[in-house]
Amino acid sequence: MSKKNKTAFVCDQCGADYPRWGGQCTSCGEWNTIKEVRLGGTERNSRKAGYAGSLSEVKLLSDVNLSQAERIFSGISEFDRVLGGGIVRGSVVLIGGAPGAGKSTLLLQAIANIAARGVSVLYVSGEESLQQIAERAHRLKLPADKIMMLAETSVQRICDVMDEVKPQILVIDSIQVMHTQEAESAPGSVSQVRESASYLTQYAKKHDVSIFMVGHVTKDQSLAGPMTLSHIVDTQVMLGSTDDARFRVLRADKNRFGSVGELGFFAMDSTGLKEVKNPSAMFLNRPDKPSSGSVVTVLWEGTRPLLVEIQALVTECQYGNPRRLAVGFDQNRLAMLLAVLSRHGGIFTANDEIYANVVGGIKVTETSSDLAIVVGVVSSLRDKVIPHDVFFFGEIGLSGEIRPVANGHARLNDAAKHGFKKAVIPKANAPKKGIEGLEIHGVSTLSEALDILSEM
């Protein structure tokens, strides 16, 4: 008697499952995305130890072989930085991004460098023909004589080929077009993406193969497929672009072997993606003549400081409801800072329209930029020009206090290297020993910072 296949109702957008069909997914809020899928009848070996695919054995933590975490360097320092210092053997990396962002180009450049050093690599394409990939490699002037290529969408067939050629690194382009016999739905469906990723991850852990999976994104720029895909992989990175589309930014959203939030910067030209060695200089391309409302702050992205310019514009409201617009950071944060400025700084802005922008299109997620945002608003309101060699950082509390931020000394050192002469920072971040060439003003309250601004 044949085993009856089980069915499930799964949301195409977020991967949430339900015991029965419904019109709206209560997890992501989308309508008409819940589909009935048949689960394959293939029985898995319940004795397998997770994705490793081998029998479970009890070991002391001190007896685990650390050589298995050895890294392979791609030769692209910004790429290796985002991955946590190189490619870990047996790891699974998911790289997502909008069409045309450069995902395939970046991976092709990376594996070309790796293959040139004698590491065996296999590039599996499920979307482009081998001729198209060869043309791209020729256009980018990449050494292609050691890169193995395969046009295939069957996961089982790919693993059979890997058993023959035994690559150390595998690229899957893309995971959304792969299919496996363990799921009977169409390629690209939630169950197919989940089962294909699980199958490849099991192979990676068992055979110590590093796998890169290219992932599509949805209209809201989130990764397509089930949320379980993010849980399966070891590392998830997103390749996007700045708002002006001049540069590409690679961000680590999840990393079991490195820092989350690490950024890598690239510039696209006719020969592919070129890494930007000094991203701070990229974001500080300022006019020779300073203007009011412009202020520099030092962010901390991943494991390094990043200098960015914040601009604010305060103008008289011509209508009854003044606008407050923030580009590059949380608009609710701007509203809160303006309330603190009114209550503890004595500066009333309720009748003014206020616009704030992070130059270069970068997204600010930490609170160290609070002081710079408020100073920029006051600078524009008073038409007070801040000198080019002055920068600010610090978190502002609801009581008007200036709170310290992490890695303050490293931020100061990086700003000094870029020629800045004066810093206004939280008093708790002020070093006991000064930094050569840098005048440091430690402040405890917002009013103290505004007093220093008035004296400039």
Over residues 165-178, the pLDDT tens digits come to: 999 999 999 999 99
Examine the pLDDT at 403 and tell me if it is beyond 60: yes
Segments forming the whole domain that contains residue 184? 70-277
Pairing outcome for strands 121-125 and 147-151: parallel
Q: Report yes or no on 47 lying in a domain.
A: no
Kindly state the tokens that stand for 427: 């008093």
- Per-residue pLDDT at 417: 94
Q: Report yes or no on 45 lying in a domain.
A: no
Please state, in angstroms and rounded to a whole number, the distance separating the CA atoms of residues 373 and 415: 18
Same domain, 140 and 273: yes
Q: Put residue 431 in one of left, alpha, beta given phi > 0 → left and psi -120 to 50 → alpha.
A: beta
Q: Report yes or no on 59 lying in a domain.
A: no
Kindly state the tokens that stand for 105: 């180009």
DSSP 236-252: EEEEEE-TTSSEEEEEE
Kindly state the tokens that stand for 317: 């409201």
Same domain, 137 and 25: no
List, for residues 31-44, the tens digit of each pLDDT value: 888 888 766 544 44
- List all residues 6 or more positions away from 122 whose beta carbon is below 8 Å from its beta carbon: 148, 149, 150, 161, 162, 165, 167, 169, 170, 171
- Per-residue pLDDT at 9: 85
In this prediction the pTM is 0.82
Same domain, 81 and 162: yes
Examine the pLDDT at 431 and tell me if it is beyond 70: yes
Same domain, 167 and 301: no
| Last residue in a domain, options 277, 304, 334 | 277
Q: Report yes or no on 118 lying in a domain.
A: yes
Q: Report yes or no on 57 lying in a domain.
A: no
* Three-state SS at 342: helix
Stretch 438-442: mean pLDDT: 97
Highest mean pLDDT of the ranges 19-33, 45-59, 60-74, 330-344:
330-344
Stretch 168-190: mean pLDDT: 89
Same domain, 217 and 108: yes
Same domain, 96 and 128: yes
Stretch 292-298: mean pLDDT: 97
Strands of the sheet containing 34-39, edge to edge, are: 17-18, 6-11, 34-39
Same domain, 355 and 439: yes
Same domain, 193 and 140: yes
Helix (H) / strand (E) element for 198: namely: helix 190-207
In our burial notation (b when 16+ CB lie closer than 10 A, e otherwise), range 412-437 reads bebbbebebebbbbbbebbeeeeeee
| Last residue in a domain, options 243, 277, 311 | 277
Same domain, 265 and 377: no
- Say which range, 222-226, 250-254, 362-366, has the weakest mean pLDDT: 222-226
Q: Report yes or no on 108 lying in a domain.
A: yes
- Per-residue pLDDT at 51: 60
Examine the pLDDT at 245 and tell me if it is beyond 60: yes
Kindly state the tokens that stand for 19: 């015991």
Examine the pLDDT at 379 and tell me if it is beyond 70: yes
- Say which range, 94-103, 214-223, 308-317, has the weakest mean pLDDT: 214-223
Same domain, 22 and 113: no
Q: Report yes or no on 245 lying in a domain.
A: yes
Do residues 404 and 448 touch, judged by C-beta distance below 8 A?
no
- List all residues 6 or more positions away from 328 whose beta carbon is below 8 Å from its beta carbon: 243, 310, 356, 357, 358, 361, 362, 363, 364
Ranges of beta strands (E only) in 152-224 are 169-173, 210-215
Same domain, 293 and 246: no
Please state, in angstroms and rounded to a whole number, the distance separating the CA atoms of residues 116 and 145: 9
Kindly state the tokens that stand for 355: 């616009």
| Bond prior to 74 in cis (omega within 30° of 0) | no
What CATH number corresponds to the domain at position 239?
3.40.50.300
List, for residues 2-31, the tens digit of each pLDDT value: 445 567 788 876 777 888 898 998 888 888
Residue percentage of the chain with pLDDT more than 70: 92
Q: How many domains does the chain have?
A: 3
Q: Report yes or no on 63 lying in a domain.
A: no
DSSP 109-130: HHHHHHHHTT--EEEEESSS-H
Kindly state the tokens that stand for 115: 């293959």
Same domain, 79 and 194: yes
Please state, in angstroms and rounded to a whole number, the distance separating the CA atoms of residues 182 and 200: 12
